Chain A
Amino acid sequence: MINKIIETPKEAVADIFDGATIMISGFGEAGSPIELIHALIDQGAKDLTIISNNAGSGHVGLAALLENKRVKKIICSYPKTAFSEVFPNLYCNGEIELELVPQGTLAERIRCGGAGIPAFYTPTSVGTPLAKDKEIREINGKLYVLEYDLKADFALVKAYKGDRYGNLIYYKTARNFGPIMCMAAKTTIAQVNKIVELGDIDPEIVVTPNIFVQRVVEVANPLHEHVLISQNKKYPWTE
């Protein structure tokens, strides 16, 4: 019997090890698996490399993972968002390494990581500082930059519904990086608002095929980052 359902976020992240590379879904707070991130903070793994579009806001979720000094390097496209204080402070103090990647290149590097394509040429960033020291090649009269794939030991992804095989569907623009991160990690851990029976998700509308998902954990009422920020919350929770 195949059953990828795990009871709690704590159990779902228990084997994440020091030095792991972890993809974390989300575009800002939309699609950010905040309960899995908080469970990872509780678990204690450190020296992590994080691949995520942003670098967190306020003092919860991804920002809290950074603030608790668990992350040595972040690979992202836009670490500067409203209410982001943690990353700028760490970066200015030289306490975190940043690899800045154009957003589409980040997405394609992740997609390729999951699709068995080790590298690709893209026009994005030609003639800019982000192409510095990279291989440039002319193809049919146009210049392209060589970019390599991205893979991860784990992906922490937020989806809307999942079943025990690991089929996933998402909710609105919270889909963003989820589907491609599921493909690019050895172990994909999906938190879903609702676990449903096999067959309840119409096979025609499955977004992430179950083969890309190893663990599914239900978080029925996930926290909202903007609400926590408006309440000045900080994780681990303090009184």
Chain B
Amino acid sequence: MDRINIGWSKDEMAKLVANDIPDGSYVNLGIGIPELVANYIPEDREVIIHTENGLLGVGPAPAHGEEDFDLINAGKKPITAIKGACFFHHADSFAMIRGGHLDFTILGAYQVSQSGDLANWSTGSPSDIPAVGGAMDLVQGVKNVFVIMSHTTKDGTPKIVKKCSYPLTGVKVVSRIYTELAIIDVTPQGLKVRLMAPDIDEATLINKTEADLLF
């Protein structure tokens, strides 16, 4: 029988991502679970967070009542700016992204393929309002593209697949995948399992993954 909660929690996943970001990195965080990563950057590291709507140096969320709706993140939520932050316009922001100046982007996903293709902007359903935002620029320009997502959909369908069935965001762009079950590197040889959650074994992971895995 399937247990409801197996593996790492969302916060534990975010902490694992944060631990893999070296001191001095410039990092763009996607909307949703990726935003949690900012909470777990180890205190001895200085990491500068970029938001594509024009800020380097995103700080913690403002206290209730202190929100400034002209100071928001890509998810349009109020944020703060750290000391040493700077604002810039959109063409500069995407020059940072496309021009290879950012070290990491942490994104959510619908599907990742075994060659690192990413699908995270559309389910392709005709009733879906198409919306892409900055995802296609981020995956092309940022040095390391990390995906943080649930290992399967709510009904148990694998999201790590041989070939994406949803419309692509980019081809061969993902470098590492973090799920509640494992951390998996996209390598030229294929998907290499880097770490499994404490209560997970190889058979369970293979069972919940459509793509081939290397251990």
A103 contacts B70, C-beta separation under 8 Å: no
Q: Which chain B residues border A98 with CB–CB below 8 Å? A: 130
Say which residue of A31, A107, A172, A176 sits within 8 Å of B81 (CB atoms). Answer: A172
A82 contacts B76, C-beta separation under 8 Å: yes
Q: Given contacts A30-B53, A111-B91, is CB(A122)–CB(B171) below 8 Å? A: no
- CB neighbors of A among B118-141 (8 A): 122, 127, 129-137, 140-141
A77 within 8 A of B: yes
Query: In the assembly, what is the distance between CA of A9 and CA of B131, in Å?
Result: 31
* 12 further A-B pairs in the complex, CB-CB below 8 A; given A103-B137, A173-B55: A27-B53, A30-B72, A106-B90, A108-B94, A126-B171, A127-B170, A128-B136, A129-B122, A172-B68, A172-B81, A173-B71, A174-B70
A122 contacts B98, C-beta separation under 8 Å: yes
Query: In the assembly, what is the distance between CA of A98 and CA of B130, in Å?
Result: 9
B130 contacts A100, C-beta separation under 8 Å: yes
- Chain B CB within 10 Å, residue with most, of A27, A87, A177, A207: A27
- CB neighbors of B among A206-231 (8 A): 207, 224-226
Query: In the assembly, what is the distance between CA of A174 and CA of B70, in Å?
Result: 5
A3 within 8 A of B: no
B167 contacts A27, C-beta separation under 8 Å: no
Q: Who on chain B is nearest to A87 by CB?
A: B129
- 27 sample A-B contacts, Cβ–Cβ < 8 Å, listed by A number: A28-B76, A30-B71, A30-B76, A77-B133, A79-B129, A79-B131, A81-B76, A88-B129, A102-B132, A102-B134, A102-B135, A103-B132, A103-B137, A104-B90, A104-B98, A104-B134, A105-B137, A123-B141, A124-B98, A126-B171, A127-B171, A129-B122, A172-B71, A173-B55, A173-B71, A178-B89, A180-B90
Closest chain B CB from A91 CB (angstroms)? 6
B90 contacts A176, C-beta separation under 8 Å: yes
Query: In the assembly, what is the distance between CA of A130 and CA of B119, in Å?
Result: 13
B167 contacts A129, C-beta separation under 8 Å: yes
Q: Who on chain A is nearest to B126 by CB?
A: A92
* Contact count band on B: 35 or more
Query: In the assembly, what is the distance between CA of A226 and CA of B78, in Å?
Result: 12
Query: In the assembly, what is the distance between CA of A178 and CA of B171, in Å?
Result: 32
B72 contacts A104, C-beta separation under 8 Å: no
B111 within 8 A of A: no
Say which residue of A88, A171, A177 sits within 8 Å of B90 (CB atoms). Answer: A177
A173 contacts B137, C-beta separation under 8 Å: no
A165 within 8 A of B: no
- Chain B CB within 10 Å, residue with most, of A80, A82, A98, A104: A104
Q: Which chain A residues border B54 with CB–CB below 8 Å? A: 27, 173, 175-176
B53 contacts A176, C-beta separation under 8 Å: yes
A5 within 8 A of B: no
Q: Which chain B residues border A30 with CB–CB below 8 Å? A: 53, 69-72, 76
B97 within 8 A of A: yes
B169 contacts A128, C-beta separation under 8 Å: yes
Query: In the assembly, what is the distance between CA of A93 and CA of B108, in Å?
Result: 30
Q: Which chain B residues border A177 with CB–CB below 8 Å? A: 89-90
B87 within 8 A of A: yes
A78 within 8 A of B: yes
